[in-house]
Amino acid sequence: MIYLKKENGTVKVFYSKEEMNATGYPEADKIVTEEEFNGSGCYTRIIDGEIVVGRTAAEIATEEKEEKIAEIDAELAELDRKYLTPRVLGGIGIGDEYAIGERNKHEQEAAPLRQQRQALITDKVA
């Protein structure tokens, strides 16, 4: 078991009850298993006066959302490289049909990704 004690806004970690008692603390504020503590990367802090071990559900959700946005951004960048070549960009301005067609393909493929990205940003995730 791992014994956790709040002190001056930080979390003191003790690997045994004897170690905790030897330093003058009769009781832990929180006790967790070694598996839970090590599985969290030994990450502890105080949130709203309580000891939190590991990341909160909100932190995990935010990280997952940021990862998904980064994946979408990479997909959009790949579409730009695929379709928006110098020839296409130059041709759009002069009405070149091939260039306009490539731009339209780009927009058709990019639109759903942009919608997914916007939904993630505005927290409207399905």
Tell me: the pLDDT tens digits for 37-86?
888 888 888 888 889 898 888 888 888 999 999 999 999 999 999 999 99
- Report the alpha-carbon distance of residue 34 to residue 85 in Å, rounded: 55
Neighbours of 33 (CB within 10 A): 11
- Res 9: pLDDT: 87
Dihedral angle, C-alpha 88, 90, 95, 97, nearest 10 °: -20
- Residue 11 pairs in a beta bridge with 6
- Res 124: pLDDT: 56
Question: Which pTM was predicted?
Answer: 0.64
Using DSSP's 3-state secondary structure scheme, residue 84 falls into coil
Query: How are beta strands 2-7 and 10-14 bridged, if at all?
Result: antiparallel
Q: Packing angle between helix 57-83 and helix 97-121, nearest 10 degrees?
A: 180
Mean pLDDT of all residues in 10-16: 92
